[in-house]
Structure 1
Amino acid sequence: MILVTGATGTIGREVVRRLPADLGVRIMAREPARVVGAPAQAEIVYGDYGDPQSLVRAMSGVRALFLVTNRVGEDDAHVIQTARSAGVHHVVKLSAAAVADPGAEDLITRWQRVNEDLLRGSGLGWTLLRPRSFMSNALSWTESVRTDHVVRALYGSSANACVDPRDVAEVAVRALTEDGHTGGIHTLTGPAAITAVEQTAEIAALLGRPIRFEELTCEQTRAALRRRYPEPVVEALLQSAQRQRDGAKAGVENTVLELTGRPATSFGTWARGHVAAFASG
C-alpha cells in the first residue's frame, strides 16, 4: 500500500494521477472531497497531521509514503513517529533545493533542514526530493495578464531554474514504486534558468499580444504577501527572493533526465499547456 499526502496540492495531485492503476493506493486529505484524478481503486481517507488517530488509521498497512508538509511546525515529527510505529518502510519527502544552499537561512529553509534530519535519523528508508520553485507559480499572474496585460513581480531580471510540477511528480512516483531510490537526494530543476521578464515574453508570444512587465518594490511585495501569510513566512519568502536576486537559484541539474530518460520540461512547453489560463475571457 502506498499512502499519498498533500494530494490536493501542486505536486500531490500530479502524483495521484500518475500512480499505476494496479497498485494499492490510499490518499489522505483534510478535505477528501477535494481529491480529484485518483485511480478508481484508490482509497481516500480523512487525515490531519494534528490528529494523531487519523494518522494511525491512514498508515495502517502502508509500505511507502509520499510526504508533503507546508506548515512550519511539528507536522513532520508527528508523521515520522507514526510511520515508524506503523511499520512503513520508505518515505519519499518533498523538500526544497534551498536546503543545500549554505547561504539560505530563512525560516522555511531552516525548517526543511530540520525535517530532513528527522527523517534521515528515523531508521526509516527515505528519499528526498529537492525541487526549485514550480513553473506553476506563474499562474498567480493570470488575473493581471487577463485584465491589465501586465505581469507584476519582484526582481524581474533574477533567474530561477524552475521546474514543471509534473516532472517532480514523475520522479516521486518512480521513487515510490521502483527500487534503487532509498537514501537518494534528488535535486530537481528545469532545463534552464529563466527570469520573470523572460517568462512574461514567452507568455506574450503564446497569446499573440503584448504583455508589460512591472517591477514590484520590496514593500509592495511585502504588503501583498501579508494578505496571505503570517509575518515570519513573509520575511522568509522575501529573503528567498533576495537569494534568487543574488544568483543562488540559477543552477541547473540533469536529475529529471537521469531518472526519467527524458529532458526536464521547459517553461515554454509548460506555458503552452496552460496558455488558456492567461487568455482573456
Structure 2
Amino acid sequence: MILVTGATGTVGREVVRRLPAGLRVRIMAREPERITGAARTAEKVAGDHRAPRSLARALAGVRTAFLVTTDVAGDDDARFVRAARSAGVRRVVKLSAAAVLDPGADDVITRWQRANEELLRGSGMEWTLLRPRSFMSNTLSWAASVRSERVVRALYGTSANACVDPRDLAEVAVRVLTEEGHAGKAYTLTGPRAITAAEQTDQLGRLLGVPLRLEELSPEQARIALGARCPAPVVEALLRSAERQRAGAKAQVTDTVGEVTGRQAGTFRAWAEDHLEAFAPAVDGARVPDLAP
C-alpha cells in the first residue's frame, strides 16, 4: 500500500494522477472531496497530521508513504514519522527543498526543512529525499496582473533560478515510490536551465501574443505584497531567499530528472504553453489569448 499526503497541493495532485491504476493506493487529505485525478481504485481518506487517530487510520497497512508538509516551523513531520514508525511503514519519501544544501541559507524555512530531513534519516525507516528548486508554477502568482495589466511584478527580475516543472518532480516521486533502489538517496531536482523572471515574462508574452512588461519591485514592495498572504517569518525567509538568488545561489542545474525518469526535464516554455489559459484575459467567461497589439 502506498500512502500519498498533500494530495491537493501542487506536487501531490500530480503524483496522484501518475500513480498506476493497478497499485494499492491510499490518498490522505483534510478534505478528501477535493482530491482529483486519482484512479478509481484509489482509496480516499480524511486525515490530519495533528489528529493522531486519523493519521493512524491512514497509515494502517501502508508500506511506502509520500510525505508533504507545509506548516513552516511546525511539528507535522515529527507527528507523521512517529505514527508511520508505529504503523510499520517501511519507506518514506519526503518532499524537501534544494536550499538545504546551500550553506548560506539560514532562514526559518530552510532550517525547518533541514530539521525534518534529519528527523527522517534518524527514524529507522528507509527514506528518500526529493529536493526541488523553485516550481515553475510559482509564476501563476503573476496571472492576475498579466490578465488585467499585462504586467509582471517581481523582485530581482534579472536573477536566475533553475526552476523545475512540478510535473517532473511528481514523475520522479512516482518512480521513487514504486521502484526499488532509491533508499538512502537525496535527489536535487531542477529544470534544464536557469531562467530569470525577465525571460519568463518575455516567453509568456510571445506565447500570449501580447507585449508584457516586467516591473521590478523593491524589497519593501515585495515585503508588502508577500505579507498579504504569508506570515511575517515566512515573508522574511522568502526575501532572504531572493537575495541568495540574486547572488547566484539558485542557478545550478542538475540532470537528476533525466537520470531518474529517462527523459530530459521540461522547459519553462513547455510548462507555460500547457498553462497559458491561466494568463489569458477573460472574454465571455472564457480565457483566450488577446492578440491585439
The TM-score with structure 2 as length reference comes to 0.95
SS of alignment partner, residue 28 of structure 1: strand
Q: CA deviation at 1:229?
A: 1.3
Structure 1 residue 167, shift from structure 2 partner:
0.3
Q: CA deviation at 1:151?
A: 0.3
**3-state SS of 1:186 partner:** strand
**Letter aligned with residue 5 of structure 1:** T
Q: Which residue of 2 aligns with 1:112?
A: 113
Partner residue, 1:49:
49
Secondary structure of 1:253's counterpart equals coil
* Runs of 4+ off more than 3 Å: none
Aligned Cα root-mean-square deviation (Å): 0.6
Report the counterpart of residue 20 of structure 2 in structure 1: 20
Query: For residues 133 and 186 of structure 2, what CA distance do their matches in structure 1 show?
Result: 13
Matches of 2:232 and 2:140, distance apart in 1: 23
Q: CA deviation at 1:66?
A: 0.2
Aligned to 2:291: none
Structure 2, gaps ≥5 residues long: 283-293
> What amino acid does structure 1 have at the position aligned with 2:200?
Q
Q: What is the rounded CA distance, in whole Å, between the counterparts of 1:114 and 1:46 in structure 2?
A: 27
AA partner of residue 135 (structure 1): M
What is the aligned partner in structure 2 of residue 37 from structure 1?
A: 37
Percent identity over the alignment?
Answer: 69
Q: Deviations over 1:80-113 (max 9, x none)?
A: 0000000000000000000011110010000000
Where does residue 216 of structure 1 map in the other structure?
Answer: 217
Match of 2:239 in 1: 238
Measure the CA separation in 1 of the matches of 2:275 and 2:28. Answer: 28
Q: Which residue of 2 aligns with 1:205?
A: 206
User: Alpha-carbon deviation of 1:37?
Assistant: 0.6
* Counterpart residue identity of residue 247, structure 2: D
- Residues 6-41 of structure 1 show CA distances to partners (whole Å, capped at 9, x for unaligned) of 000000000000001000010000111111111101
The whole-number CA distance in structure 2 between the counterparts of 1:257 and 1:27 is 27
2:189 is matched by which residue type in structure 1?
L
Equivalent AA in structure 2 for residue 232 of structure 1: P
Paired residue type of 1:9: G
Deviation at 1:209, TM superposition (A): 1.0
| Mapping 1:6-17, distance limit 5 Å | 6-17=6-17
Q: TM-score scaled by structure 1? A: 0.99
Aligned to 1:76: 77
Looking at structure 1, the residues matched to 3 and 262 of structure 2 have their Cα atoms a distance apart, in angstroms, of 26
Measure how far apart 1:225 and its partner are: 1.1
The alignment partner of 2:186 has SS state of strand
State the distance in 1 between where 2:108 and 2:246 align: 18
Shift of 1:268: 0.8
- 2:180 maps to 179
